[in-house]
Amino acid sequence: MTSHDPLTLIGTAFVMMTGVMLLLWMVQLHGRNASLADVGWCIGLVAVTTWYGTAAFGDPGRRGLVMAMIGVYGLRLGSYILLNRVIGKTEDPRYQYMRRWLGSREHLGVFAYFLLQAPAVVLFSLPPLTVMQNPRPTFSLWELAGVLVWLVAVVGEATADWQLAHFRQKAWNKNRVCRDGLWYYSRHPNYFFEWLQWWAYVLMAVGTPGWLLTWIGPVVMGMALVRLTGIPLAERQALAARGEDYRAYQRTTNAFVPWFPKRQ
């Protein structure tokens, strides 16, 4: 039965994602690779947004567009993480550090981390849901601007991921700092474009009810990437692995927003 009530849609999404993350948590008990939670978040966001797109109010064309945007973003990122950090790979150093930090509480902490992905998916599904429920039949210039921002962000993040993966494939680059391509202008260009992607929904929802909900994307994602689980953990691991070379990189290159490096 189709339901247009946003609360029903969100509640169903939460229950579905809780079940998915419980299943992935049980899978990681065997392989001990918490990056599965990241894969679950990406694919879960695609599934939830698709569910919204088939059951929410709003112009069908706009719902289809948002489903496509989240689908391309989530499936691209999820498959990248799966292939480069899960299948046949040792656990990401950030999660190894998390396990050491948790100590005797490791199993409970990892369990909680997986379960937290369910409300996280629901939270980040609110911006696309807000855009979907816009009843206007025609697209505005704000929406066009949002799509252009999304395109730049998705291409930029995919490019940064590919450049880093290509760099790491070469054995002689082990424990060396990647300064190729976008990594010449930012120490974390992938995080920057990930954050930029969420601004697309802010632009697309300008002038619509619930517009403030779309700010959840860039604000919460920005805090997570810059202050919590993104840059701080990545920098700690990079310093431990690359030492003085990475310190020189820190002195010359912006951590987040791409810009020309400083002269030493």
What are the pLDDT digits (tens) for 149-182? 999 999 999 999 999 999 988 888 888 999 999 9
Rounded-to-integer distance, Cα 7 and Cα 149, Å: 29
The count of C-alpha atoms lying within 13 angstroms of the C-alpha of 244, restricted to the half-sphere facing its C-beta, is 0
CA-to-CA separations, 163 to 34, 167, 258, in angstroms, rounded: 24, 6, 15
By CB atoms closer than 10 A (0-12, 13-18, 19+), residue 135 is exposed
CA torsion angle 130 149 145 199 (round to 10)? 40
pLDDT confidence band for 262 (50 / 70 / 90): confident
pLDDT band at 233 (very low <50, low <70, confident <90, very high): confident
Please give the Cα distance from 66 to 18 (Å, whole number): 23
pLDDT higher at 224 or 175: 224
What pLDDT, on the 0 to 100 scale, is given for residue 37?
A: 93
Q: How many CA atoms lie within 13 A of 211 on its CB side?
A: 10
Contact 174, 250 (CB under 8 A): no
Q: How far is CA 139 from the centre of its chain?
A: 26
Residue type, 163: Q
Stretch (H or E) spanning 144? helix 141-168
Q: Is 7 exposed, middle or buried (0-12, 13-18, 19+ CB in 10 A)?
A: exposed
* pLDDT(123) > 50: yes
Cα Rg of the chain, angstroms: 19
- pLDDT confidence of residue 89: 85
Centroid of chain to Cα 213 = 18
Supply the pTM of this predicted model.
0.91
Determine contact, residues 231/246, Cβ cutoff 8 Å: no
